[in-house]
Structure 1
Amino acid sequence: MANPQTRYYSFSKSRTGTQSSGGTAEVKGVEKRKLSQKRRTLPFQLSMGGHLSPWPTYTSGQTILYQRKPCSEDCRNRTNSWQQHPLGTSKPRYLEQLENYLRKELLLLDLGTDSAQELRLQPYREIFEFFIEDFKTYKPLLSSIKNAYEVMLAHQREKIRALEPLKAKIITMNEDCSERILAMRAEERYEISLLKKEKMNLLKLIDKKNEEKISLQSEVSKLRKSLAEEYLRYLTERDARKILIGDLNELRYQREDMSLAQSPGVWGEDPVKLTLALKMTRQDLTRIQMELNTMKANFGDVVPRRDFEKQEKINLDLQEQLESLKADYEEVRKEHELLLQLHMTTLKERDQFYAELQEIQRTSTPRPDWTKCEGIIAGGSERWLMLAEGKNSDQLVDVLLEEIGSGLLREKDFFPGLGLEESVPAFLRFDGPVENKKPSKKEVVNILEDAWKERLAQEQKESFQDFFTNFLERRFGSNDAIAWAYTIFENIKLFRSIEVMNQFYAVLMGKRKETVYINQRETMSHLMKEMTNIDTQNEGLITMEQFSTILKTTFPLKKEEQIQELIEAAGWSPDINNVEMFNYRTLFTEDEEGQSEPFVQKLWEQYDSEKEAYLQELKEDLGQELTDEVSLSKMRVALMNIDPSLDKQTLCTYLSQAFQLPVAELPLEDEEKQEEIVVKLETALEQLRIADTKRVGLREPEPAS
């Protein structure tokens, strides 16, 4: 009878033979040849006479062998033989050789590449092949296990390759969604600011209505009280009139009775009856006398209704005259105070103008003849007239310096490097000569506008100077980035009259926060959106009345004179033309050199002047010199005094900017710590001047003395 183990081996071998056909057989043949070559380096030695060694189980007892399912008599015989001949605790030599081989193969692998995990599996495959080839009895089962794992690994590789394009698509979609989210956040921030402003206006309107309601309620209570008094007075007078009428009727009846008693027929009546009548008459007389005395006491001071109405009319006339005189007096008093203030202001202006006149007379020089510049400026007299239109002498000097500087800038081929010190801005740190790229003004403006677009599209995590450096490297490459940085810096430092260059230079050098530019751009977008919404025909035309309404709605804190200045800057004047419609789209255009229209320039001028007035008012409320130190508590109180409509978030932002502290570190609840945090007033005002500092609401008027 054949051994069961031998039959199982032959059956497994036949199954593996049928499965390995075609390309699989060739691959297995190659693998077998490789394994046979490697097996020569591994001397095969089985412990326990060709059977699997039970190491280290036999050292700790035979419980594991007893719990295994018996397969044949040979297994039980081998178990008894192990029990009869225990061995030492050392590993089998074949196991040690396999472990040494695996360790060497793993050391030879380069695990720093992307395919490290695939290469790491190869030594384990080879070890498994050694097991399959050396243990003939278990070769079919181990081969099927290996094939199953190989098929599954191949299937997983195909899945990974198929998912690679999907991964790239997901990354692209993630970037698009991030950009949309940033745009939506910016729009939401702007809408939130508008809603906050609308909320503040509605709260003010509610307060005003509440005050009117309280005043009306007080007037109603007064009228009710006067009505009750009048009603009581008229009721008393009515009762008095009824009593008088009753008394008169009683007296008339008594007189009739007395006339009847004195008639000739009375003497013939019964004396008893007459005595009784006399007695009753005397009683009635006594009662009437008492009532008459009571009436005299109660109504002795009562005047006739005719006299009362006459005096009341005279009193009303005098009251009206008094109210009119009071109103006239109050108006005259206010005019007198205004005239006094105007007089004091005029005196100060006169003294100031006189001092300026003395200084000008002392240091004045003859007014320059600007027509001499026509022959020097490129373009001749026509270009000079275009540049000098509407500019004063100071502005003409700036224009002349820009023209001279642009010529000198174009003559330079290289700029000297500023070095690598910490005091040098990060984007200008270079040692050695730097090439001058010599771009035109239009090219520089286009680069700056592209930089602003990219800055607004991404999250502002890095500083503006680092962003500018990275932007130039992405656009021009790392080799030309420093050359373009020096070229652009020299251009924006020179052409300060161009608004785009001036703003970019101020933000780049830290003289102004970039939020100032961003908020101004959002304001321009909001104005354009409001005008577009009114323009239902999409013709680009609106009326001046609509334009004025939009300005007053968007800038509720601007005075009427400022609104009129913006309307005139838009190109409309009632003295020049009576055109009702105008093209609003031209207000937001820029020329080739990036110069804005007068309307946008006037908005920037008003923004700067309003900020300076706000900071001057803050300084006056503090009542300190610029060199004095101001505490956090005093600054907070002063801000709330000059701008009571400040919300908590904006107040914390202003304090954080003035004292250069994070908002989370401001001790708003601890008065003692607020007194300990101090800074020079000049430094605090300068920090607020850099940031987007502006008034939130109107200041409450001071009570009249």
Structure 2
Amino acid sequence: MAFPKPGLFCFATNTRSYQESSGVTIDDTSLPEKNTSSRKFSQKPKTLSCQFSIGSQISPWPTYTSGQTILHNRKPCTVDYRKRAGSLQHPVSTTKPRYLERLENYLRKELLLLDLSTDSAQELRLQPYREIFEFFIEDFKTYKPLLSSIKNAYEVMLAYQREKIRTLEPLKTKLVTVNEECNEKILAMRAEERYEITMLKKEKMDLLKLIDKKNEEKISLQSEVTKLRKKLAEEYLHYLSERDARKILIADLNELRYQREDMSLAQSPGVWGEDPVKLTLALKMVRQDLTRTQMELNTMKANFGDVVPRRDFEMQEKTNKDLQEQVLVGRQGRMGSYGWAGTGDQSPYPQLECLKADYEEVCKEHEILLQLHMSTLKERDQFHSELQEIQSTSTPRPVWIKCEHVVAGGPERWHMLAEGKNSDQLVDVLLEEIGEGLLREKNFFPGLGFGEHIPPFLRFDGVVENKKPTKKEVVKLIRDFWKERLAEDQKEKFSDFFFNFLEHHFGPDDAMAWAYTIFENIKLFHSNEVMSQFYAVLMGKIKESVYIKEKETVAQLLKEMTNTDSQNEGYITIEQLSTVLKSIFPVKKDERMQELMEAAGWHPDISNSDFIKYSSLFLEDEEGQGTPFIQKLWEQYTAEKDEYLQDLKQELGLELNDKVNLVKVREALMNIDPSLDKLTLKKYLSYAFQLTELPEEGDEMEQEIVASVQSALEQLHMSDTRRIGPREAEPTS
């Protein structure tokens, strides 16, 4: 801030004049030297010592100096000068005071050292002037209070302005932010406007093209209208000429008709003399009579069209009486023929003979039914008495609803478990629930020892830990086992492979504990398909090939349904499902095929064009429970195998303890299943007699290979045995 500079120059001038007149010198060393380091605003300037004599006068320099630049309107500098202007005499040539030169040089150097590129450049620029002003305040003791008050007033004002600027800085930042946001909005709006303008221009061009097209269509339509108008005028003229020609022709025709009537009247002398009015009236009356007669005729036809003449009615009535008499005679005598049968005459009514024979057959059947009815009544009375005896001696039927408050999960879970199950199955479910709770309470299983009847994977002495897995974990473990088993060559024994699988997954130390844990779980849960099938294979009740064949059948079903779904939408119709089932199971009975269809979601009241999601038929939950469709497949496979083996037993005609040789079993299999091929027949015989190699057909060794009927049937029941074709071989074309 440069406002104190004129006053400073005046003070410097007075000081110099005072030095020259009074001989007082100011110490030049008191001026601050050049400072190269950054200057702080709080640094106090050094004081300049100045001594004045009491009677000294302030020098008026540079009033008379040529080229002076001091302003004379400054009151502190010009009052004394004006008072003493006339009395003081100055030398012709006056030089600038040395103190002023030092101050100017100091100011110039300090300004050159400042870095004016920073934000606080104005504050730094003000600092040298502040220091010089401090020098004046310190050196001129007389003016120090006034100068200090001036300096303080300016400092207070500067501090106030600085504080105000500081408070306005956030507003400036916010203003910049708002400005940027507004600019962005403006740019976005301009971009949107440009896009809208572009779209509007494009729409304008399209509309212009549409207008041009419509104009062309308008021009073409106008030309077509012009052509049509011209053509219409031509057609109008043509029809006018045609109308005129028609009128002329009608007139000619009327003329010709009149001439012909005149000629006919001229040729008939009897009519020539009649009155035309009278003839016209007679013709009108005749026409009315004809119309009335026609109406009466139609009424008679409608009312009496189905009426039989009296003569025909009397003849039919007489015939009916004769037939009634013959029927009465037949009922009374129960004879083989009617009145004319004894004389050898033939009945004149062959239809009556047929009715007579049918009536006799119905009478015989009626007598047989009466006898059956009497025997049925006797059986009913007998069964009723037996039922009463059984009800009085047997225990009452269990009330299964009591279990819903005992089973974990409450009524909802019990209803879910008991849905569609009979009493025997409900007993299994209840035993599973009780056994599961007891199994959870066990912490250890006692070892079964090393007996020969003990399975190899359970041979252990001591106590093993109960790992207490959930049903889901056991099912997942069994599924993992089957994946590894099907991936191997299956040469290793099933039980040995199972124990090796446990050793590989849980280590040799925990393998035996897991073997006992899994064995106890699969032995308990009979209703779970995954566990029950695995238990049957593990204990040798069914062979491994049965499970593999079942999985192959399910995979084949899914593949055929996928191939049928040509659109790859995941849905097929009921008719397509029936076709797939018939292609996979050609010998399955119709009622069982209908059971499979109902398990898949078909109902008799829906059409065959409805769709089903076939992938949902092959799903399994986390506990291994399959869909009703898969369960029905397994149930039917077991039932069909039992029926097949029952047919084989009946064909053999032997008791279970009797011995049977290989030849007789082969003949029986071919009789009950003529479609058996040689390879399948050989496989079944190997299962029945537990042989790896069979002698050739016709060899004498076949008579020596014998086994009991019970053993053969049990081995076939354990194996994958099923009917290949119908019992009666179809005739070949």
- The normalised TM-score by structure 1 is 0.49
RCO comparison, higher one (Cα < 8 Å, 6+) = 1
Q: What TM-score do you get using the length of structure 2 for normalisation?
A: 0.47
Give the greater-gyration-radius structure (CA).
2
